[in-house]
Chain A
Amino acid sequence: MSALVLAEHDGGKLNPATLATVTAAAAVGGPVHILVAGGDDASAAADEAAKVAGVEKVLLASDAAYARQLAENVAPLVAGLMDGYEAFFAPATTTGKNIAPRVAAMLDVMQLSDIIGVEGPKTFTRPIYAGNAIATVESSDAKLVITVRATAFDKAAAEGGSASVEAVSGPGDAGLSTFVGLDATESERPELTSAGIIVSGGRALKDSATFEATITPLADKLGAAIGASRAAVDAGYVPNDYQVGQTGKIVAPELYIAIGISGAIQHLAGMKDSKVIVAINKDPDAPIFQVADLGLVADLFDAVPELTGKL
Protein backbone atom coordinates (compact mmCIF):
# COMPACT_ATOMS: atom_id res chain seq x y z
CA MET A 1 0.00 0.00 0.00
CA SER A 2 1.63 3.26 -1.09
CA ALA A 3 1.41 6.08 1.42
CA LEU A 4 1.82 9.84 1.19
CA VAL A 5 3.00 11.62 4.35
CA LEU A 6 2.43 15.34 4.80
CA ALA A 7 5.61 16.93 6.15
CA GLU A 8 5.32 19.44 8.96
CA HIS A 9 8.08 21.98 8.67
CA ASP A 10 8.98 25.46 9.77
CA GLY A 11 11.53 27.76 8.20
CA GLY A 12 12.94 24.93 6.12
CA LYS A 13 13.34 22.60 9.11
CA LEU A 14 11.44 19.35 9.36
CA ASN A 15 9.35 18.95 12.54
CA PRO A 16 10.20 15.68 14.36
CA ALA A 17 6.49 14.74 14.34
CA THR A 18 6.99 14.08 10.62
CA LEU A 19 9.52 11.33 11.45
CA ALA A 20 7.08 9.52 13.74
CA THR A 21 4.42 9.81 11.05
CA VAL A 22 6.79 8.16 8.54
CA THR A 23 7.16 5.23 10.97
CA ALA A 24 3.37 4.83 11.21
CA ALA A 25 3.00 5.01 7.42
CA ALA A 26 5.76 2.45 6.90
CA ALA A 27 4.05 0.06 9.35
CA VAL A 28 1.12 -0.22 6.94
CA GLY A 29 3.54 -1.64 4.35
CA GLY A 30 4.47 -0.37 0.92
CA PRO A 31 6.48 2.61 -0.25
CA VAL A 32 6.35 5.90 1.67
CA HIS A 33 6.54 9.27 -0.05
CA ILE A 34 6.69 12.64 1.71
CA LEU A 35 4.92 15.76 0.49
CA VAL A 36 6.61 19.03 1.42
CA ALA A 37 4.25 21.92 0.66
CA GLY A 38 5.47 25.41 1.39
CA GLY A 39 6.87 28.69 0.13
CA ASP A 40 10.45 29.54 -0.83
CA ASP A 41 11.95 27.76 2.17
CA ALA A 42 10.24 24.46 1.37
CA SER A 43 13.14 23.12 -0.71
CA ALA A 44 15.43 23.05 2.35
CA ALA A 45 12.81 20.96 4.18
CA ALA A 46 12.49 18.72 1.10
CA ASP A 47 16.26 18.08 1.11
CA GLU A 48 15.98 17.13 4.77
CA ALA A 49 12.99 14.87 4.05
CA ALA A 50 14.96 13.11 1.29
CA LYS A 51 17.48 11.92 3.90
CA VAL A 52 14.86 10.29 6.14
CA ALA A 53 15.42 6.54 6.28
CA GLY A 54 12.81 4.48 4.43
CA VAL A 55 11.42 7.30 2.31
CA GLU A 56 11.31 6.48 -1.40
CA LYS A 57 10.43 9.83 -2.89
CA VAL A 58 9.84 13.44 -1.84
CA LEU A 59 7.25 15.59 -3.56
CA LEU A 60 7.99 19.31 -3.36
CA ALA A 61 5.17 21.78 -3.91
CA SER A 62 6.70 25.24 -3.68
CA ASP A 63 4.16 28.04 -4.02
CA ALA A 64 3.41 31.16 -1.97
CA ALA A 65 -0.13 29.78 -1.56
CA TYR A 66 1.27 26.91 0.55
CA ALA A 67 3.69 28.98 2.65
CA ARG A 68 1.31 29.23 5.63
CA GLN A 69 -0.23 25.77 5.33
CA LEU A 70 -3.72 27.19 4.81
CA ALA A 71 -6.02 24.16 4.69
CA GLU A 72 -8.13 25.71 1.91
CA ASN A 73 -5.04 25.69 -0.35
CA VAL A 74 -3.11 22.61 0.82
CA ALA A 75 -6.06 20.16 0.94
CA PRO A 76 -6.82 20.41 -2.83
CA LEU A 77 -3.11 19.89 -3.55
CA VAL A 78 -3.09 16.70 -1.46
CA ALA A 79 -6.42 15.45 -2.83
CA GLY A 80 -5.10 15.94 -6.36
CA LEU A 81 -2.04 13.81 -5.61
CA MET A 82 -3.99 10.97 -3.98
CA ASP A 83 -4.77 9.22 -7.28
CA GLY A 84 -1.35 7.65 -6.94
CA TYR A 85 -1.67 6.61 -3.28
CA GLU A 86 -3.82 4.39 -1.11
CA ALA A 87 -3.16 6.19 2.17
CA PHE A 88 -2.54 9.73 3.41
CA PHE A 89 -0.86 10.32 6.77
CA ALA A 90 -0.42 13.63 8.60
CA PRO A 91 0.98 14.25 12.08
CA ALA A 92 -1.80 15.06 14.58
CA THR A 93 -0.42 18.57 15.10
CA THR A 94 -2.68 21.61 14.80
CA THR A 95 -1.56 21.84 11.14
CA GLY A 96 -2.29 18.19 10.38
CA LYS A 97 -5.59 18.26 12.25
CA ASN A 98 -6.63 21.32 10.24
CA ILE A 99 -5.76 19.89 6.81
CA ALA A 100 -6.41 16.11 6.96
CA PRO A 101 -10.22 16.11 7.48
CA ARG A 102 -10.56 18.54 4.59
CA VAL A 103 -8.64 16.07 2.42
CA ALA A 104 -10.77 13.17 3.72
CA ALA A 105 -14.04 14.89 2.81
CA MET A 106 -12.72 15.75 -0.67
CA LEU A 107 -11.92 12.05 -1.17
CA ASP A 108 -15.19 10.89 0.48
CA VAL A 109 -13.21 9.01 3.11
CA MET A 110 -13.90 8.72 6.85
CA GLN A 111 -10.70 9.78 8.60
CA LEU A 112 -9.02 7.90 11.45
CA SER A 113 -7.84 10.54 13.93
CA ASP A 114 -4.87 10.45 16.26
CA ILE A 115 -3.88 6.79 15.80
CA ILE A 116 -1.54 5.27 18.39
CA GLY A 117 -1.04 1.83 16.80
CA VAL A 118 -1.09 -0.02 13.48
CA GLU A 119 -2.77 -3.45 13.81
CA GLY A 120 -3.13 -4.31 10.13
CA PRO A 121 -3.30 -2.68 6.69
CA LYS A 122 -6.70 -1.16 7.49
CA THR A 123 -6.88 -1.62 11.27
CA PHE A 124 -5.65 0.90 13.81
CA THR A 125 -5.93 1.77 17.49
CA ARG A 126 -6.89 5.22 18.70
CA PRO A 127 -7.81 6.80 22.03
CA ILE A 128 -11.41 7.94 22.62
CA TYR A 129 -13.09 9.64 25.59
CA ALA A 130 -9.96 11.68 26.44
CA GLY A 131 -7.84 8.53 26.52
CA ASN A 132 -10.15 6.71 28.94
CA ALA A 133 -10.74 4.03 26.30
CA ILE A 134 -8.75 2.66 23.38
CA ALA A 135 -10.70 1.64 20.27
CA THR A 136 -9.50 -0.77 17.59
CA VAL A 137 -11.03 0.43 14.35
CA GLU A 138 -11.10 -1.02 10.84
CA SER A 139 -11.69 1.12 7.75
CA SER A 140 -13.79 -0.03 4.80
CA ASP A 141 -12.91 2.95 2.62
CA ALA A 142 -10.91 2.51 -0.60
CA LYS A 143 -8.31 4.98 0.64
CA LEU A 144 -7.12 5.82 4.13
CA VAL A 145 -6.79 9.28 5.64
CA ILE A 146 -5.05 9.21 9.01
CA THR A 147 -3.60 11.56 11.59
CA VAL A 148 -0.85 10.16 13.79
CA ARG A 149 -0.12 10.81 17.47
CA ALA A 150 3.61 11.39 17.19
CA THR A 151 4.47 10.35 20.75
CA ALA A 152 3.08 6.85 20.11
CA PHE A 153 5.58 5.98 17.36
CA ASP A 154 9.37 5.90 17.23
CA LYS A 155 10.91 8.51 15.00
CA ALA A 156 12.28 7.30 11.66
CA ALA A 157 16.03 7.94 11.38
CA ALA A 158 16.61 11.47 10.10
CA GLU A 159 19.68 10.31 8.12
CA GLY A 160 20.37 7.34 5.92
CA GLY A 161 17.82 7.75 3.14
CA SER A 162 18.49 9.07 -0.34
CA ALA A 163 15.10 9.77 -1.86
CA SER A 164 14.70 11.69 -5.07
CA VAL A 165 12.95 15.07 -4.92
CA GLU A 166 10.28 15.69 -7.53
CA ALA A 167 8.52 19.01 -8.05
CA VAL A 168 4.73 18.91 -8.08
CA SER A 169 2.11 21.60 -8.33
CA GLY A 170 -1.50 22.02 -7.31
CA PRO A 171 -4.33 24.46 -7.82
CA GLY A 172 -2.56 27.11 -5.69
CA ASP A 173 -4.56 29.81 -3.93
CA ALA A 174 -8.21 28.85 -3.47
CA GLY A 175 -9.00 32.49 -2.74
CA LEU A 176 -10.95 31.66 0.42
CA SER A 177 -8.58 32.67 3.19
CA THR A 178 -5.51 34.78 3.89
CA PHE A 179 -2.83 34.57 6.57
CA VAL A 180 -2.75 37.69 8.73
CA GLY A 181 -0.09 36.95 11.33
CA LEU A 182 1.46 34.58 13.82
CA ASP A 183 1.98 35.58 17.43
CA ALA A 184 4.72 33.05 18.05
CA THR A 185 5.78 32.10 21.54
CA GLU A 186 9.47 32.98 21.65
CA SER A 187 11.51 30.49 23.59
CA GLU A 188 15.03 29.18 23.73
CA ARG A 189 13.71 26.03 25.31
CA PRO A 190 13.12 22.67 23.66
CA GLU A 191 9.72 22.29 22.02
CA LEU A 192 7.15 20.64 24.33
CA THR A 193 6.26 17.68 22.13
CA SER A 194 9.89 16.70 21.49
CA ALA A 195 11.48 17.62 24.85
CA GLY A 196 13.25 14.97 26.93
CA ILE A 197 12.26 16.63 30.20
CA ILE A 198 9.17 18.74 30.93
CA VAL A 199 8.46 20.80 34.03
CA SER A 200 4.75 21.62 34.22
CA GLY A 201 2.91 23.97 36.55
CA GLY A 202 -0.71 24.19 37.62
CA ARG A 203 -3.13 26.63 39.16
CA ALA A 204 -1.32 26.48 42.52
CA LEU A 205 1.38 28.70 40.99
CA LYS A 206 -0.88 31.71 41.80
CA ASP A 207 -0.02 34.09 38.96
CA SER A 208 2.19 34.67 35.96
CA ALA A 209 5.12 36.14 37.91
CA THR A 210 5.07 33.37 40.52
CA PHE A 211 4.86 30.72 37.81
CA GLU A 212 7.91 32.21 36.10
CA ALA A 213 9.88 32.63 39.36
CA THR A 214 9.14 29.07 40.54
CA ILE A 215 9.11 26.92 37.42
CA THR A 216 11.72 28.59 35.22
CA PRO A 217 14.81 28.06 37.45
CA LEU A 218 14.05 24.33 37.71
CA ALA A 219 13.44 24.06 33.96
CA ASP A 220 16.70 25.94 33.29
CA LYS A 221 18.61 23.62 35.57
CA LEU A 222 17.26 20.56 33.76
CA GLY A 223 17.28 21.99 30.23
CA ALA A 224 13.58 21.23 30.22
CA ALA A 225 10.58 22.48 28.30
CA ILE A 226 7.83 24.20 30.31
CA GLY A 227 4.25 22.99 30.26
CA ALA A 228 1.10 23.85 32.14
CA SER A 229 -2.31 22.54 33.08
CA ARG A 230 -5.42 23.94 31.46
CA ALA A 231 -6.24 25.75 34.71
CA ALA A 232 -2.91 27.60 34.62
CA VAL A 233 -3.41 28.58 30.97
CA ASP A 234 -7.02 29.66 31.51
CA ALA A 235 -5.86 31.80 34.44
CA GLY A 236 -3.39 33.53 32.11
CA TYR A 237 -0.16 32.42 33.83
CA VAL A 238 1.31 31.19 30.52
CA PRO A 239 0.36 31.22 26.79
CA ASN A 240 -2.08 28.68 25.32
CA ASP A 241 0.58 26.62 23.56
CA TYR A 242 2.01 25.56 26.95
CA GLN A 243 -1.10 23.48 27.67
CA VAL A 244 -0.55 19.76 28.16
CA GLY A 245 -3.68 17.62 27.96
CA GLN A 246 -6.27 16.01 25.78
CA THR A 247 -7.15 19.29 24.08
CA GLY A 248 -3.65 20.75 24.34
CA LYS A 249 -0.42 18.98 23.58
CA ILE A 250 0.14 15.26 24.02
CA VAL A 251 3.61 14.66 25.43
CA ALA A 252 5.68 11.63 26.41
CA PRO A 253 9.08 12.82 27.67
CA GLU A 254 11.65 10.77 29.62
CA LEU A 255 10.82 12.82 32.72
CA TYR A 256 7.67 14.80 33.49
CA ILE A 257 7.59 16.90 36.66
CA ALA A 258 4.07 18.03 37.61
CA ILE A 259 4.09 20.90 40.08
CA GLY A 260 0.90 22.05 41.77
CA ILE A 261 -1.16 20.08 39.25
CA SER A 262 -4.06 18.09 40.69
CA GLY A 263 -4.30 15.75 37.72
CA ALA A 264 -7.69 16.12 36.03
CA ILE A 265 -8.36 13.29 33.56
CA GLN A 266 -7.94 15.71 30.66
CA HIS A 267 -4.43 16.56 31.88
CA LEU A 268 -3.49 12.93 32.56
CA ALA A 269 -4.58 12.06 29.00
CA GLY A 270 -1.86 14.38 27.72
CA MET A 271 1.10 13.13 29.77
CA LYS A 272 0.52 9.66 31.22
CA ASP A 273 2.76 8.01 28.62
CA SER A 274 5.78 9.86 30.02
CA LYS A 275 8.53 7.47 31.10
CA VAL A 276 9.01 8.83 34.63
CA ILE A 277 6.41 11.04 36.29
CA VAL A 278 7.17 13.12 39.38
CA ALA A 279 4.40 14.96 41.22
CA ILE A 280 4.79 17.67 43.82
CA ASN A 281 1.51 18.71 45.42
CA LYS A 282 0.43 19.59 48.94
CA ASP A 283 -2.84 17.63 48.61
CA PRO A 284 -2.07 13.95 49.33
CA ASP A 285 -5.36 12.96 47.64
CA ALA A 286 -4.58 14.69 44.33
CA PRO A 287 -5.23 12.23 41.44
CA ILE A 288 -1.82 13.05 39.96
CA PHE A 289 -0.25 10.79 42.66
CA GLN A 290 -2.11 7.80 41.17
CA VAL A 291 0.04 7.98 38.03
CA ALA A 292 3.26 9.38 39.51
CA ASP A 293 6.33 7.18 39.91
CA LEU A 294 7.62 9.50 42.60
CA GLY A 295 5.34 11.71 44.63
CA LEU A 296 6.23 14.39 47.14
CA VAL A 297 3.48 15.78 49.37
CA ALA A 298 4.79 19.24 50.14
CA ASP A 299 4.25 22.95 49.68
CA LEU A 300 5.66 23.57 46.23
CA PHE A 301 7.01 26.99 47.23
CA ASP A 302 9.40 25.23 49.63
CA ALA A 303 10.02 22.04 47.69
CA VAL A 304 10.67 23.40 44.19
CA PRO A 305 13.45 25.87 45.11
CA GLU A 306 15.02 23.17 47.29
CA LEU A 307 14.83 20.67 44.42
CA THR A 308 16.33 23.23 42.02
CA GLY A 309 19.20 23.78 44.45
CA LYS A 310 19.94 20.12 45.00
CA LEU A 311 19.89 18.88 41.41
Chain B
Amino acid sequence: MKILVPVKRVIDYNLKPRVRSDGTGVDLSNIKMSMNPFDEIAVEEAIRLAEAGKADEVVVVSIGPAKAQETLRTGMAMGADRAILVETDDEVEPLAVAKILKAVVAEENPGMVIMGKQAIDDDSNQTGQMLAALLGWAQGTFASKVELDSDAVTVTREVDGGLETVKLGLPAIVTTDLRLNEPRFAKLPNIMKAKKKPLDVKSPSDYRVDITPRLKTLKVVEPPVREAGEIVPDVDTLVAKLKAMGAV
Protein backbone atom coordinates (compact mmCIF):
# COMPACT_ATOMS: atom_id res chain seq x y z
CA MET B 1 0.00 0.00 0.00
CA LYS B 2 1.08 3.53 -0.76
CA ILE B 3 0.57 6.20 1.93
CA LEU B 4 0.26 9.87 1.04
CA VAL B 5 1.25 12.41 3.71
CA PRO B 6 0.41 16.08 3.15
CA VAL B 7 2.71 18.46 5.06
CA LYS B 8 2.66 22.22 5.62
CA ARG B 9 5.47 24.70 6.20
CA VAL B 10 4.55 26.89 9.16
CA ILE B 11 6.12 29.13 11.78
CA ASP B 12 8.30 27.08 14.12
CA TYR B 13 6.32 25.67 17.06
CA ASN B 14 8.57 27.34 19.65
CA LEU B 15 8.24 30.88 18.31
CA LYS B 16 5.70 33.45 19.36
CA PRO B 17 4.21 35.11 16.28
CA ARG B 18 4.30 38.89 15.96
CA VAL B 19 1.18 40.63 14.72
CA ARG B 20 1.97 43.42 12.20
CA SER B 21 1.17 46.83 13.60
CA ASP B 22 -0.91 47.73 10.52
CA GLY B 23 -3.30 44.87 11.26
CA THR B 24 -2.69 43.03 7.98
CA GLY B 25 -1.47 39.80 9.48
CA VAL B 26 1.41 38.07 11.22
CA ASP B 27 4.99 39.04 10.35
CA LEU B 28 6.78 35.95 9.05
CA SER B 29 9.84 37.67 7.57
CA ASN B 30 13.14 36.30 8.91
CA ILE B 31 11.29 33.80 11.07
CA LYS B 32 12.31 30.18 11.45
CA MET B 33 9.84 27.97 9.60
CA SER B 34 9.39 24.24 10.23
CA MET B 35 7.12 21.37 9.40
CA ASN B 36 3.74 21.66 11.14
CA PRO B 37 4.18 19.45 14.27
CA PHE B 38 1.00 17.42 13.63
CA ASP B 39 2.29 16.69 10.10
CA GLU B 40 5.60 15.45 11.54
CA ILE B 41 3.58 12.96 13.56
CA ALA B 42 1.78 11.94 10.34
CA VAL B 43 5.10 11.38 8.51
CA GLU B 44 6.39 9.33 11.46
CA GLU B 45 3.26 7.16 11.52
CA ALA B 46 3.47 6.46 7.78
CA ILE B 47 7.16 5.55 8.05
CA ARG B 48 6.45 3.21 10.97
CA LEU B 49 3.77 1.45 8.90
CA ALA B 50 6.29 1.08 6.08
CA GLU B 51 8.93 -0.25 8.48
CA ALA B 52 6.37 -2.76 9.79
CA GLY B 53 5.86 -4.01 6.24
CA LYS B 54 2.31 -2.66 6.04
CA ALA B 55 3.06 0.04 3.49
CA ASP B 56 5.50 -0.05 0.60
CA GLU B 57 5.81 3.61 -0.32
CA VAL B 58 5.45 6.90 1.56
CA VAL B 59 4.91 10.04 -0.54
CA VAL B 60 4.97 13.49 1.07
CA VAL B 61 3.15 16.35 -0.63
CA SER B 62 3.09 20.06 0.17
CA ILE B 63 1.17 22.99 -1.24
CA GLY B 64 3.04 26.23 -0.78
CA PRO B 65 6.01 28.38 -1.80
CA ALA B 66 9.30 27.11 -3.29
CA LYS B 67 10.78 27.03 0.21
CA ALA B 68 8.32 24.28 1.15
CA GLN B 69 10.86 22.05 -0.65
CA GLU B 70 12.85 22.21 2.62
CA THR B 71 9.83 20.85 4.49
CA LEU B 72 9.50 18.02 1.97
CA ARG B 73 13.24 17.25 2.27
CA THR B 74 12.75 17.01 6.03
CA GLY B 75 9.98 14.47 5.45
CA MET B 76 12.25 12.47 3.13
CA ALA B 77 15.13 12.69 5.64
CA MET B 78 12.77 11.14 8.18
CA GLY B 79 12.16 8.31 5.72
CA ALA B 80 9.56 9.23 3.07
CA ASP B 81 10.46 7.89 -0.39
CA ARG B 82 9.60 10.84 -2.62
CA ALA B 83 7.87 14.20 -2.66
CA ILE B 84 5.51 16.41 -4.62
CA LEU B 85 5.43 20.19 -4.28
CA VAL B 86 2.39 22.00 -5.64
CA GLU B 87 4.06 25.37 -5.82
CA THR B 88 2.20 28.63 -5.25
CA ASP B 89 2.96 31.86 -3.41
CA ASP B 90 -0.73 32.49 -2.80
CA GLU B 91 -2.39 31.63 0.46
CA VAL B 92 -4.39 28.46 -0.13
CA GLU B 93 -7.43 27.83 2.06
CA PRO B 94 -8.21 24.35 3.43
CA LEU B 95 -11.03 23.77 0.90
CA ALA B 96 -8.69 24.49 -2.03
CA VAL B 97 -5.93 22.40 -0.42
CA ALA B 98 -8.41 19.53 -0.15
CA LYS B 99 -9.33 19.91 -3.83
CA ILE B 100 -5.66 19.84 -4.90
CA LEU B 101 -5.05 16.81 -2.66
CA LYS B 102 -8.05 15.08 -4.22
CA ALA B 103 -6.40 15.49 -7.62
CA VAL B 104 -3.07 14.23 -6.25
CA VAL B 105 -4.87 11.20 -4.79
CA ALA B 106 -6.43 10.51 -8.22
CA GLU B 107 -2.90 10.34 -9.71
CA GLU B 108 -1.20 8.48 -6.90
CA ASN B 109 -3.92 6.07 -5.74
CA PRO B 110 -2.79 5.76 -2.11
CA GLY B 111 -4.51 3.28 0.21
CA MET B 112 -4.45 5.81 2.99
CA VAL B 113 -3.79 9.52 3.53
CA ILE B 114 -2.32 10.41 6.94
CA MET B 115 -2.16 14.11 7.80
CA GLY B 116 -2.03 16.49 10.75
CA LYS B 117 -5.35 17.35 12.41
CA GLN B 118 -4.62 21.06 12.12
CA ALA B 119 -1.91 23.50 11.14
CA ILE B 120 -0.60 25.69 13.95
CA ASP B 121 -0.87 28.88 11.88
CA ASP B 122 -4.53 29.13 10.84
CA ASP B 123 -5.72 26.49 13.36
CA SER B 124 -8.53 25.51 10.98
CA ASN B 125 -8.72 21.76 11.59
CA GLN B 126 -10.56 21.17 8.30
CA THR B 127 -8.44 19.80 5.48
CA GLY B 128 -8.54 16.09 6.35
CA GLN B 129 -12.29 16.02 6.85
CA MET B 130 -12.82 18.01 3.64
CA LEU B 131 -10.58 15.69 1.64
CA ALA B 132 -12.48 12.69 3.04
CA ALA B 133 -15.78 14.29 1.95
CA LEU B 134 -14.53 15.11 -1.57
CA LEU B 135 -13.22 11.56 -2.03
CA GLY B 136 -16.21 9.89 -0.34
CA TRP B 137 -13.79 8.13 2.03
CA ALA B 138 -14.01 7.34 5.73
CA GLN B 139 -12.18 9.61 8.18
CA GLY B 140 -10.44 8.81 11.46
CA THR B 141 -9.70 12.22 12.95
CA PHE B 142 -7.61 13.15 16.03
CA ALA B 143 -5.95 9.72 16.07
CA SER B 144 -3.94 8.48 19.04
CA LYS B 145 -3.59 4.92 17.71
CA VAL B 146 -3.72 3.45 14.20
CA GLU B 147 -3.93 -0.29 13.46
CA LEU B 148 -3.80 -1.14 9.78
CA ASP B 149 -5.08 -4.45 8.38
CA SER B 150 -5.39 -5.51 4.78
CA ASP B 151 -8.95 -4.28 4.32
CA ALA B 152 -9.59 -1.89 7.21
CA VAL B 153 -7.92 0.52 9.59
CA THR B 154 -8.91 0.75 13.26
CA VAL B 155 -8.38 4.24 14.67
CA THR B 156 -8.49 5.29 18.32
CA ARG B 157 -9.58 8.93 18.49
CA GLU B 158 -9.02 11.53 21.22
CA VAL B 159 -12.53 12.86 21.87
CA ASP B 160 -13.96 15.16 24.55
CA GLY B 161 -15.29 12.27 26.65
CA GLY B 162 -12.28 9.95 26.42
CA LEU B 163 -11.00 7.65 23.67
CA GLU B 164 -13.27 6.48 20.85
CA THR B 165 -12.41 3.63 18.53
CA VAL B 166 -13.77 3.39 14.99
CA LYS B 167 -13.16 0.92 12.19
CA LEU B 168 -12.81 2.40 8.72
CA GLY B 169 -13.00 0.73 5.35
CA LEU B 170 -10.06 1.45 3.03
CA PRO B 171 -9.03 3.73 1.47
CA ALA B 172 -9.34 6.16 4.37
CA ILE B 173 -8.10 9.46 5.78
CA VAL B 174 -6.43 9.58 9.21
CA THR B 175 -5.64 12.86 10.97
CA THR B 176 -3.11 12.81 13.79
CA ASP B 177 -3.32 14.03 17.36
CA LEU B 178 -0.37 14.74 19.64
CA ARG B 179 -0.03 11.39 21.32
CA LEU B 180 -0.01 9.14 18.26
CA ASN B 181 3.80 8.88 18.30
CA GLU B 182 7.01 10.79 18.91
CA PRO B 183 8.54 11.78 15.59
CA ARG B 184 12.19 10.84 15.06
CA PHE B 185 14.95 13.31 14.38
CA ALA B 186 16.48 12.88 10.94
CA LYS B 187 20.08 11.63 11.11
CA LEU B 188 22.78 13.36 9.08
CA PRO B 189 23.34 10.50 6.58
CA ASN B 190 19.58 10.43 5.97
CA ILE B 191 19.50 14.20 5.45
CA MET B 192 22.21 13.77 2.79
CA LYS B 193 20.33 10.86 1.20
CA ALA B 194 17.10 12.88 1.16
CA LYS B 195 18.71 15.45 -1.10
CA LYS B 196 18.87 12.83 -3.85
CA LYS B 197 15.32 11.54 -3.46
CA PRO B 198 12.86 12.57 -6.21
CA LEU B 199 10.87 15.79 -5.75
CA ASP B 200 8.31 16.73 -8.42
CA VAL B 201 7.24 20.35 -8.72
CA LYS B 202 3.71 21.06 -9.97
CA SER B 203 1.32 24.01 -9.88
CA PRO B 204 -2.35 24.27 -8.83
CA SER B 205 -3.28 24.82 -12.50
CA ASP B 206 -1.77 21.41 -13.36
CA TYR B 207 -4.63 19.99 -11.31
CA ARG B 208 -7.18 22.49 -12.67
CA VAL B 209 -8.08 23.67 -9.19
CA ASP B 210 -9.32 27.20 -8.61
CA ILE B 211 -7.60 28.44 -5.45
CA THR B 212 -9.36 31.83 -5.27
CA PRO B 213 -9.97 32.48 -1.55
CA ARG B 214 -13.52 32.38 -0.24
CA LEU B 215 -12.67 34.18 2.97
CA LYS B 216 -11.30 37.69 3.21
CA THR B 217 -9.22 38.64 6.25
CA LEU B 218 -10.27 42.17 7.17
CA LYS B 219 -7.80 42.58 9.99
CA VAL B 220 -5.55 40.74 12.39
CA VAL B 221 -4.94 42.10 15.88
CA GLU B 222 -3.22 41.05 19.07
CA PRO B 223 -5.56 39.45 21.58
CA PRO B 224 -6.51 41.61 24.55
CA VAL B 225 -3.63 41.52 27.01
CA ARG B 226 -4.42 40.07 30.38
CA GLU B 227 -2.74 42.13 33.08
CA ALA B 228 -0.62 40.24 35.56
CA GLY B 229 -2.08 40.49 39.04
CA GLU B 230 -0.16 40.30 42.28
CA ILE B 231 2.16 37.85 43.92
CA VAL B 232 0.88 36.92 47.36
CA PRO B 233 3.35 36.05 50.15
CA ASP B 234 1.59 32.99 51.60
CA VAL B 235 -1.42 30.69 51.53
CA ASP B 236 -3.31 32.71 54.16
CA THR B 237 -3.16 35.83 51.98
CA LEU B 238 -4.21 33.78 48.95
CA VAL B 239 -7.26 32.43 50.77
CA ALA B 240 -8.18 35.90 52.07
CA LYS B 241 -7.91 37.46 48.60
CA LEU B 242 -9.93 34.68 46.98
CA LYS B 243 -12.68 35.17 49.57
CA ALA B 244 -12.62 38.93 49.09
CA MET B 245 -13.05 38.43 45.33
CA GLY B 246 -15.95 36.05 45.94
CA ALA B 247 -14.07 33.40 43.93
CA VAL B 248 -14.49 30.68 46.56
Contacts and interface: CB of A to CB of B under 8 A. Distances in A.
Contacts of B247: 254-255, 275-276
Interface in B75-128: 93-95, 98, 117-118, 120-128
Given A72-B139, A134-B220, A294 B229 contact: yes
Contacts, number: 251
Contact of A294 (B168, B222, B238): B238
Nearest to A72: B138
A217 B129 CA distance: 41
B178 A247 contact: yes
Most buried by A among B144, B178, B215: B215
Given A105-B130, A276-B247, A178 B160 contact: no
Contacts of B130: 101-102, 104-105
B16 to A, nearest CB: 6
Contacts of A114: 123, 125
A10 B161 contact: yes
Nearest to B239: A310
Nearest to B131: A105
Contacts of B118: 247
A111 B98 CA distance: 12
Contact of A94 (B160, B219, B232): B160
A172 to B, nearest CB: 15
Contact of A109 (B129, B214, B229, B234): B214
A102 B164 contact: no
B26 interface: yes
B167 A130 contact: no
B29 interface: no
Given A133-B222, A291-B226, A296-B232, A95 B129 contact: no
Nearest to A230: B178
Interface residues of A, number: 88
B216 interface: yes
Interface string B209-236: 0000111111111110010111110111
Among B127, B154, B221, which residue has the most Cβ atoms of chain A within 10 A?
B221
Interface in A295-311: 295-298, 303, 306-307, 310-311
Interface range for B: 35 or more
Given A110-B95, A113-B126, A272-B226, A177 B231 contact: no
> When A and B form their complex, which 3 residue pairs have the shortest distance between CB atoms, in order from nearest?
A101-B129, A293-B229, A110-B214
Interface of B: 11, 16-17, 19, 26, 93-95, 98, 117-118, 120-134, 136-142, 144, 154, 157-169, 172, 177-179, 213-223, 226, 228-232, 234-236, 238-239, 241-242, 245, 247-248
Interface of A: 10, 70-72, 75, 93-95, 97-106, 108-114, 123, 127-141, 175-185, 193, 197, 222, 230, 233-234, 239-241, 246-247, 249, 254-255, 265, 272, 275-278, 284, 289-298, 303, 306-307, 310-311
5 contacts: A101-B126, A138-B215, A182-B165, A185-B162, A246-B123
